[in-house]
Structure 1
Amino acid sequence: MDSVTLRPFRADDTLWLVERHGTLYAEAEGFDDSFAPLVAEILGAFIADHDPTCERGWIAEEAGQRLGSIFCVRLDETTAKLRLFLLVPEARGRGLGRRLLDTCMGFARDKGYTQMQLWTHESHRAACALYAATGWQLTDSKPVHSFGVDLVEQTWKITL
């Protein structure tokens, strides 16, 4: 993993991120084609409106190949929101998810946020286990029908 770098998100990463989210979630979760446009919308808003003094996105890269992403965005004065946390299957199990999460949380702390929150699905078991192992608390869980499938939506929070 020493050869993996975390670099700032660039606008030219957008198509890759949208495609990877759409494809990987369709394969793993059965998501329909409404998911990728949501990712595109989130990224479009980030590119257009993010405040680089307190918001950032990272791309994990190895030998020129993108492996994953994570974003820290401002929810309010004291709360950051973790978004678009993704690892391609071939990058999993190498500690890279923890590294991305630690980087994002460290950035949030450094920028003065006192808490973070995120939204995910119960079916993302490895990510949820990582959140729990790093001190995040599950604060809400509810069944929904989204992206063409039945899911259990979750909200997690942590005090930084």
Structure 2
Amino acid sequence: MTDSTAIRRAEAVRHFNRFYTQHIGALHERLQKSPYSLTEVRVLHELTRGQAQTASALARNLGLDSGYLSRLLTSFERRALITRRPSETDARLSLIALTEQGHAAYEPLDAAAVAEVLAVLERLQSSSQEELIGAMRVVERLLSDQPQHGIITLRAPRPGEYGWLVHRQALLFACEHDWDQSFEGLLARVIADFTQHHDPLRETCWVAEQDGTIVGSALLIGVSTTVARIRLLYIEPDMRRLGIGTQLVDECVRFARRAGYTKLTLSTATTLEQSRRLCQRAGFVCAGAAPEVRFGHDLTIERWERDL
């Protein structure tokens, strides 16, 4: 990555930060018609989860300085918003919980926050609301230190998502491997043929989803009455090495067996090391390789097989 590219991306992030900070600042300014600061509202919100917490857990979850949080909690205690009691497992720790008065103080703040956000969303069309929420989820996932905490579910693609899979995979392989638009054309042909002609008893497609966003996919198609092939297998870069690829391939294996296939195949390039390792872990063996000019490059394409 060149210095100019890095600077352009940094400036784009800074631009977004300025916009979002200004937007949230205006939102909070309208909401804070109360004796509570924004940080106090955040702490009250964390305590509404119902389970008593320690001060250290609150500081960690909210990213607050422990000394500042201690003074804030002392103020809450004076106002009878919280109670503290010794932990049954560690007498050195105090468990903090909201009192009825604390819940009563937070409820109108929470209702006002919800109403304000609803007012923002109501200015948008329904499809734009979903687009905004999806973008927020992607930002949260990419910036999170622990994306693996979200549950991964496999489901069938919804309308519009087949085209998104073509777009996303073409973009990723262009960025990561400099593959040209012919790869996008191949993906589009695979999807077009599948969506128009596939036999749902013998062929299927899954997307892996976490918190409402797609993080991977796999498509299984029939080659013959006994052989099936995996295509469109990909995992989002920040979600790799979390077992999602294995989960998708295992589901392909189970489906292929139920459909009566006796062999499962897939193709990959020798330059795609993670794909090759996934094949090996899933019990596939390399059955052949040949040099080909594909996607603007001289590649060696391998065919991997597994008996079912």
Structure 1 partner of 2:171 = 23
Q: Deviations over 1:32-69 (max 9, x none)?
A: 11111210110010000000011100000111111110
Describe how 1:1-160 pairs up with structure 2 within 5 A: 1=148, 3-160=151-308
Distance of 1:35 and 1:83 partners within structure 2: 13
Higher-RCO chain (CA-CA 8 Å, sequence separation at least 6): 1
Distance of 2:162 and 2:282 partners within structure 1: 28
Q: Structure 1 residue 10: deviation in Å?
A: 3.2
Report which of the two has the higher share of strand.
1
User: Larger radius of gyration, structure 1 or 2?
Assistant: 2
Q: TM-score, normalised by structure 2?
A: 0.51
Q: Deviations over 1:61-120 (max 9, x none)?
A: 111111110011111111111111011101111111100010111110111111111111
Distance of 1:10 and 1:116 partners within structure 2: 25
Distance of 1:76 and 1:124 partners within structure 2: 27
The AA in structure 2 aligned to 1:9 is P
- Identity of matched residues, %: 34
Q: Deviations over 1:11-49 (max 9, x none)?
A: 421221111111111111110111112101100100000
Distance of 1:50 and 1:91 partners within structure 2: 29
Q: 6-15 or 93-102, which moves further after superposition? A: 6-15
Residue segments in structure 1 that go unaligned for 5+ positions in a row: none
> CA 1:102/1:85 → structure 2, altered by over 3 Å: closer, same or farther?
same
Tell me if the contact between 1:11 and 1:47 (Cα under 8 Å) persists in the aligned partners.
no
Residue segments in structure 2 that go unaligned for 5+ positions in a row: 1-147
Tell me if the contact between 1:14 and 1:40 (Cα under 8 Å) persists in the aligned partners.
no
Moved over 3 A (4+): none
Q: Structure 1 residue 130: deviation in Å?
A: 1.3
Tell me if the contact between 1:9 and 1:56 (Cα under 8 Å) persists in the aligned partners.
no
Task: Provide the alpha-carbon RMSD of the alignment.
Answer: 1.2
**In structure 2, the residue corresponding to 1:34 is in which secondary structure?**
helix
Q: TM-score, normalised by structure 1?
A: 0.95
Distance of 1:115 and 1:38 partners within structure 2: 23
